Amino acid sequence: MGSKTSLLLQEEEIIQISKETGFTPNQISRLYSRFISLDKSEAGKLCPTDLMRIPELAINPLGSRIVEAFFANCSRESDTINFRQFVKTLAIFRPQRKNEVDNDVNSRASKLKFAFSIYDLENNGTVSGEDLLVILKMMVGCNITEEQLKAIALRTMNEADQNGTGMLSFDDFEQALTRVEAEQTMSIRFLD
Amino acid sequence: MKSLTWTAMVMCAVVVLLPGVASVTEDSADLVIEMYLNETEIPETLEHCGDHERMTEFKVARLQWHEVDIPLIIALWIIFATIVRLAFSFSSLEKYIPESCILICTGFVIGGIVLILSAVTSSKSGHPNDTVHSTRYAGVLQLESELFFLFLLPPIMLEAGYFMPVRAFTNNLATILLFAVIGTLFNAVTVGLSLFAVSEFGWLGSDGNETIRVSFLECFTFSSLISAVDPVAVLAVFEEIHVNQVLYILVFGESLLNDAVTVVLYRMFETFNEIGQDNLQTKDIIFGILSFFVVSLGGVFVGALFGFLTAVITRFAHHVRVIEPVFVFVMSYLAYLTAELLSLSSIMSIVTCAMVMKPYVERNISQKSHTTIKYSMKMLSSLSETIIFIFLGVSTLTETDNHQWNTSFVFFTLIFTFVYRFLGVIWQCFLANRYRLLKIKSKEKFIMAYGGIRGAIAFSLVALLCETIVLSKKIFFTTTIVIVMFTMFVQGMTIKPLVNKLHVKKEEKHKPSMNEEIFARVNDHILAGMELILGHEGRNSVREQWRHFDNKFLKKLLIRDYKAVSDPKILDVYQKLTEKDATDYIKEHGTFHLSASVSNFLRTEIGGSGMLHNSSSASLSGI
């Protein structure tokens, strides 16, 4: 597969993506071969079903939400993404290097923004109580009463909602998580 | 006058304490009886019937010393140790010196009194029995290896395993293993080689007209027991200084997992010594390496087995609530003993057992049993710790016939253990940092190296050496004590000021808010999902799969009326927060007026908590 990868991915393209995302060229070609193996239709782009085919994703209670957020994050119009968008979203989870200038790709804010988009079901920039309830239901399971979950969602909302709108904006969200070291907790070690 | 009576009383107490400790450790009953006969002079006119004295007349009161001697002495000894600890908690010393050091000093004092006492008694009268006494007194108060490994060590390790921060431990497992296995090996080999070199150069001085030499294998036997960081000492020192969790778990995890390496190396070189250097074959070395895997993985396996077994048993124990804690304690002790029986790593066994059983047991047992377990565990382990440190101090002074001071050997060992610990930590951190997300900073490296404290395990292992096989045992013994004392006192006492001076990140404790908790859970799922999309299985996706497996199969099997709540932690946090709100409300308003809103509040909150009975008992564990 390695030879195929290098054939399809232009040298200058790699350099450009590397500049945008901060990945090393080596990492990019690794990601590219992953992209190719996910792309069953061999059209050079991925659609949500391509990702949903990953078997272990089925046991992830938020699996479908993650895939949706993955695509919502990349393209607002179409439901397919090309390699560049694929890498750009993954770059959010790249650990920050020492002395790295706080660029946009993997800053604390963009990491949190991705998490926020998991909560944000309608993709409208705010999280409602209903959204929270759905997420909770997905994670906790259904052997708990609706009232219980509602109480939890309400409490979560009241805790974070500063201006009493009954909705969470991204600012509220970020404010509620000031003690969380998202730079570290929202990072994945990428193999070189 | 008053002070005189006090000294007399203390001396009496000490004298009372001494023989008992010996008799506990002596497993033959004959010795105990013999000792009794030596100590109290029974008038020969009395006739004996078995062990009992035959009475010629009825007495109003009598002393039945021999019927209660051992338990009485143990009880007195425990009370004495605990009171010492209590006394120091009132003093201002505690702020500057770690408790372990204070306890060792107390041991020194007791040991000193014993030495003086035995010297006085043997010089005053020429009675033959007295010389027996004095050697007894001198030899009595030792940290007997058997007592240490079978009774004092298990409670501490059980507590360590049960309250282990599992998440931090598994997250750093690779680094911990690197330190525990490769690091300990590195230290053992380098220290052993260097000491052998020193001995070959003839720097150890001479004994009469022969230069002192320590053989190659002896050097390695010694280095294998001196290079391991001691979990008891590390716990005692690090618990007081509250460094950040990663640093803590790295040092503490290392000290736990290096047990397997220590056990294997120690046993291997001891056997090699028996076989003799000339008869060694490559086969023996290969078996040695193989036995490392058997010892460590075997220990983990035995521990896990007993852990799951305990979970199954507690599942059915709800009819007799009072025996629930018994299972937890006895089963984990069984895990320890079984590992010891099969000559596997007993520390790893009991720690694994405790870690495995905890999440299931907690959901099976009542909240009261849980509190009982928690406090008994803490009590037993702190008691063991107290006794160990006092013993350590006492044995240092009283084991006079085991000492042989060799200045250069002591000096070189001290230098080598210190230097190689630092070198080892530096290169291992360099290696680990290449693969770690959260890098180890240089300040933290320093504290890690500096926190390499040796303790009672090294002490007990060196005492176990057989003098006829390991000829330099006496030198080793003295040197071990010096290393233990040096690391305990110098490093142990200065580490806290150093941590403050270097501004090493401290642990921040706060209860998570609901938002933080939910975010943490969501984040776990996100990271696991991203790893899958990336196509490389990292710790996040492995954790996710384990959690799934656990929820789907294990919990059903091991937990009584299990409700398929896949993320009970969220409910726990909610429960805790609302409970806190309720108590805050009561505190603020003094009395409890059932206004409409409050009663409404209660109905929803407490009515809801009934649903959460299972998880509420588990929430206690998070403390």
pLDDT digits (tens, 9 = 90+) for B41-64: 444 444 445 555 566 777 788 888
* Chain A residues closer than 8 Å to B538 by CB: 188-189
Same domain? A85 vs A151: no
Same domain? A104 vs A177: yes
In this prediction, residue B521 has a pLDDT band, given cuts at 50, 70 and 90, of confident
The first and second tokens of residue B466, run together, are 């057989």
Q: Is residue A2 part of a domain?
A: no
Residues B254-298 pLDDT 10s: 999 988 888 888 888 888 888 887 777 888 888 888 988 999 999
Taking CA atoms, B146 is separated from B142, B149, B505, in Å, by 11, 5, 40
Residues B410-439: b if buried by 16+ CB within 10 A, e if exposed: bebbbebbbebbbebbeebbeebeeebbbe
pLDDT for B195 equals 92
- Give the residue among B302, B62, B71, B535 at the shortest CA–CA distance from A36: B535
The first and second tokens of residue A136, run together, are 């909770």
Inform me whether the C-beta atom of residue A192 falls under 8 Å from chain B C-beta atoms.
Answer: no
Of A92, A114, A146, the position where a domain reaches its end is: A92
**Burial label, B128 (beta-carbon count in 10 A; 0-12, 13-18, 19+):** exposed
* Chain B residues closer than 8 Å to A144 by CB: 563, 565, 571, 611
Percent of chain B with pLDDT over 70: 81
The first and second tokens of residue B182, run together, are 């490769």
Same domain? A156 vs A109: yes
Amino acid identity, position B421: R
* Chain A residues closer than 8 Å to B606 by CB: none
CA distance B233 to B99: 11
pLDDT for A34 equals 86
Spatial CB neighbours of B407, under 8 Å, sequence gap ≥ 6:
B205
CA distance A52 to B364: 37
Report angle CA B415, B417, B419 to the nearest 5 degrees. 65
Pairwise CB contact (< 8 Å): B571 & A66:
no
Q: Is residue A28 part of a domain?
A: yes
Is pLDDT at B135 greater than 80 in this prediction?
no
Cα B498 to its chain centre, rounded Å, is 24
Facing residue for B534 by CB, picked from A34, A60, A187: A34
- Give the residue among B7, B133, B24 at the shortest CA–CA distance from B76: B24
Least confident of A57-66, B122-131, B378-387, B573-582: B122-131
**What DSSP assignment string belongs to B563-608?**
---S-HHHHHHHHHHHHHHHHHHHHHHSS----HHHHHHHHHHHHH
DSSP code at position A167: E
pLDDT for A60 equals 86
Q: How far does chain A reach from its first CA to its final CA, in angstroms?
A: 17
* Chain A residues closer than 8 Å to B525 by CB: 60-63, 66, 139
**What DSSP assignment string belongs to B489-554?**
IIIHHHHHHHHHHHTPPBP---PPPHHHHHHHHHHHHHHHHHHHHHT---HHHHHHHHHHHIIIII
CA distance B222 to B198: 14
Pairwise CB contact (< 8 Å): B534 & A188:
yes
Q: Which residue of A has its CA nearest to B544?
A: A60
Pairwise CB contact (< 8 Å): A151 & B531:
no
Same domain? B472 vs B551: no
Same domain? A105 vs A73: no
pLDDT for B608 equals 43
Q: Is residue A4 part of a domain?
A: no
Q: Which residue of B has its CA nearest to A62?
A: B525
Q: How far is B250 from chain A (nearest CA, A)?
A: 18
Residue showing tokens 């970020």: A174
- Give the residue among B272, B265, B296 at the shortest CA–CA distance from B184: B265
Same domain? A87 vs A113: no
Q: Is residue B574 part of a domain?
A: yes
Q: Is residue A1 part of a domain?
A: no
Q: How far is B24 from chain A (nearest CA, A)?
A: 52
Q: Is residue A74 part of a domain?
A: yes
- Average the pLDDT over B229-249 and give the result: 88
| Probe site for chain A from B518, B531, B602 (most A CB atoms < 10 A) | B518
* Chain A residues closer than 8 Å to B574 by CB: 151-152, 155
Same domain? B261 vs B340: yes
Q: Within 13 A of A155's CA, how many CA atoms are on the CB side?
A: 26
More confident residue, B204 or B160: B160
Same domain? B220 vs B368: yes
Pairwise CB contact (< 8 Å): A60 & B525:
yes
Q: How far does chain B reach from its first CA to its final CA, in angstroms?
A: 50
Q: Is residue B579 part of a domain?
A: yes
Is pLDDT at B374 greater than 90 in this prediction?
yes
**Mean pLDDT, chain B, integer:** 80
pLDDT for B8 equals 44
Of B502, B534, B550, the position where a domain reaches its end is: B502
Same domain? B386 vs B305: yes
How many pairs of residues across A and B have Cβ atoms under 8 Å apart?
Answer: 143
Q: Which residue of A has its CA nearest to B439?
A: A98
CA distance B265 to B528: 39
Same domain? A155 vs A171: yes
Facing residue for B535 by CB, picked from A34, A136, A160: A34
**3-class SS of residue B9:** helix
Consecutive H or E run containing B52: strand B52-53
Q: Which residue of B has its CA nearest to A136?
A: B518
Of B444, B469, B502, the position where a domain reaches its end is: B502
Q: How far is B496 from chain A (nearest CA, A)?
A: 26
Residues B169-221 pLDDT 10s: 998 999 999 999 999 999 999 999 999 999 888 777 777 677 778 888 889 99
Residue A122: how many other CB atoms lie within 10 Å: 10
Same domain? B425 vs B545: no
- Would you tell me which residues 55-84 of chain A have a C-beta closer than 8 angstroms to some C-beta of chain B? 56-57, 59-63, 66-67, 70
Same domain? B241 vs B266: yes
The first and second tokens of residue A148, run together, are 């219980």
Q: Which residue of A has its CA nearest to B581?
A: A155
Pairwise CB contact (< 8 Å): A177 & B519:
yes
DSSP code at position A97: P
Facing residue for B570 by CB, picked from A114, A139, A145: A139
Q: What are phi and psi of B206, to 5 degrees?
A: -130, 155
CA distance B398 to B112: 8
Same domain? A118 vs A167: yes
Of A51, A70, A92, the position where a domain reaches its end is: A92
Same domain? A83 vs A123: no
* Chain B residues closer than 8 Å to A23 by CB: none
pLDDT for B142 equals 63
pLDDT for B593 equals 56
Is pLDDT at B31 greater than 50 in this prediction?
no
Inform me whether the C-beta atom of residue A93 falls under 8 Å from chain B C-beta atoms.
Answer: yes
SS (H, E, C) B183-212: HHHHHHHHHHHHHHHHHHCCCCCEECCEEC
Consecutive H or E run containing B102: helix B99-124
Q: Is residue B101 part of a domain?
A: no
Residues B385-443 pLDDT 10s: 898 898 888 888 887 777 888 888 999 999 999 999 999 999 999 999 988 888 888 89
Radius of gyration of chain B (CA): 28
Q: Is residue B121 part of a domain?
A: no
CA distance B158 to B136: 33
Pairwise CB contact (< 8 Å): B532 & A54:
yes
Q: Within 13 A of A58's CA, how many CA atoms are on the CB side?
A: 6
The conformational region for residue A42 under phi > 0 = left, psi -120 to 50 = alpha, else beta, is left
Q: How far is A12 from chain B (nearest CA, A)?
A: 23
Same domain? A19 vs A87: yes
Pairwise CB contact (< 8 Å): B608 & A148:
yes
Domain of residue A157 covers: 100-191
Q: Is residue A5 part of a domain?
A: no
**Burial label, A146 (beta-carbon count in 10 A; 0-12, 13-18, 19+):** exposed
Same domain? B466 vs B359: yes
pLDDT for A27 equals 86
The first and second tokens of residue A125, run together, are 């920039």
Facing residue for B437 by CB, picked from A54, A135, A187: A187
Is pLDDT at B354 greater than 90 in this prediction?
yes
**3-class SS of residue B370:** helix
Same domain? A87 vs A147: no
pLDDT for B591 equals 59
- Domain count of the fold of chain B: 2
pLDDT for B418 equals 93
Facing residue for B514 by CB, picked from A63, A66, A159: A159
Spatial CB neighbours of B59, under 8 Å, sequence gap ≥ 6:
none
Q: Is residue B609 part of a domain?
A: no
CA distance B575 to B514: 10
Q: Within 13 A of B81's CA, how many CA atoms are on the CB side?
A: 26
pLDDT for B13 equals 52
Same domain? B488 vs B519: no
* Chain A residues closer than 8 Å to B535 by CB: 34, 37-38
Q: What are phi and psi of B163, to 5 degrees?
A: -105, 20
Same domain? A85 vs A112: no
Facing residue for A184 by CB, picked from B437, B522, B563: B437
Tell me if B285 sits within 8 A of B269, measured CB to CB: no
CA distance B262 to B456: 13
Q: What is the pairing mode between strands B206-207 and B52-53?
A: unpaired
Q: Which residue of B has its CA nearest to A27?
A: B534
* Chain B residues closer than 8 Å to A180 by CB: 516, 519-520
Pairwise CB contact (< 8 Å): A147 & B577:
no
Same domain? A138 vs A59: no
Pairwise CB contact (< 8 Å): B534 & A145:
no
pLDDT for B564 equals 66
Tens of each residue's pLDDT in chain A, 192 residues: 444 444 467 778 888 888 888 888 888 888 888 888 888 877 778 888 888 888 888 888 888 888 888 887 766 666 788 888 888 888 888 888 776 665 677 888 888 888 888 888 888 888 888 888 888 888 887 777 888 888 888 888 888 887 878 888 888 888 888 888 888 888 888 776
Inform me whether the C-beta atom of residue A53 falls under 8 Å from chain B C-beta atoms.
Answer: no
Residues B67-96 pLDDT 10s: 887 788 888 888 988 998 898 888 888 778
* Chain A residues closer than 8 Å to B608 by CB: 145, 147-148, 151
Is pLDDT at B4 greater than 80 in this prediction?
no
Q: Which residue of A has its CA nearest to B514?
A: A156
- Give the residue among B540, B522, B523 at the shortest CA–CA distance from B531: B540
Facing residue for A152 by CB, picked from B527, B566, B570: B570
* Chain A residues closer than 8 Å to B527 by CB: 93, 186, 188
Is pLDDT at B38 greater than 70 in this prediction?
no
Q: What is the pairing mode between strands B206-207 and B210-211?
A: antiparallel
In this prediction, residue B29 has a pLDDT band, given cuts at 50, 70 and 90, of very low
Pairwise CB contact (< 8 Å): A186 & B527:
yes
Same domain? B484 vs B555: no
Taking CA atoms, A41 is separated from A35, A50, A69, A84, A190, in Å, by 12, 9, 22, 17, 26
Amino acid identity, position A149: L
pLDDT for B346 equals 93
Domain of residue B413 covers: 145-502
Q: Is residue A55 part of a domain?
A: yes
Same domain? B521 vs B393: no
- Give the residue among B516, B537, B569, B524 at the shortest CA–CA distance from A66: B524
Same domain? B346 vs B493: yes
Q: Is residue A6 part of a domain?
A: no
- Give the residue among B251, B236, B328, B340 at the shortest CA–CA distance from B295: B340
In this prediction, residue B308 has a pLDDT band, given cuts at 50, 70 and 90, of very high
Residues B541-572 pLDDT 10s: 888 888 888 888 888 888 887 776 667 777 88
Inform me whether the C-beta atom of residue A95 falls under 8 Å from chain B C-beta atoms.
Answer: yes
pLDDT for B150 equals 92
**What DSSP assignment string belongs to B344-361?**
S-HHHHHHHHHHHHHHHH
- Give the residue among B192, B189, B191, B169 at the shortest CA–CA distance from B181: B189
Q: Output the domain CATH number for residue A33.
A: 1.10.238.10
- Average the pLDDT over B240-252 and give the result: 89
Tell me if A90 sits within 8 A of A31, measured CB to CB: yes
* Chain B residues closer than 8 Å to A177 by CB: 515-516, 519
Inform me whether the C-beta atom of residue A101 falls under 8 Å from chain B C-beta atoms.
Answer: no
Same domain? B462 vs B346: yes
Pairwise CB contact (< 8 Å): A191 & B536:
yes
Tell me if A93 sits within 8 A of B527, measured CB to CB: yes
Q: Is residue B410 part of a domain?
A: yes
Amino acid identity, position B7: T
pLDDT for A130 equals 86
Q: Is residue B61 part of a domain?
A: no
Amino acid identity, position B367: Q
* Chain A residues closer than 8 Å to B168 by CB: none
Inform me whether the C-beta atom of residue A97 falls under 8 Å from chain B C-beta atoms.
Answer: no
- Domain count of the fold of chain A: 2
Of A64, A92, A120, the position where a domain reaches its end is: A92
* Chain B residues closer than 8 Å to A57 by CB: 529, 532-533
Is pLDDT at B620 greater than 70 in this prediction?
no
Q: Is residue B114 part of a domain?
A: no
pLDDT for B52 equals 54
Tell me if B606 sits within 8 A of B581, measured CB to CB: no
CA distance B370 to B317: 13
More confident residue, B575 or B461: B461
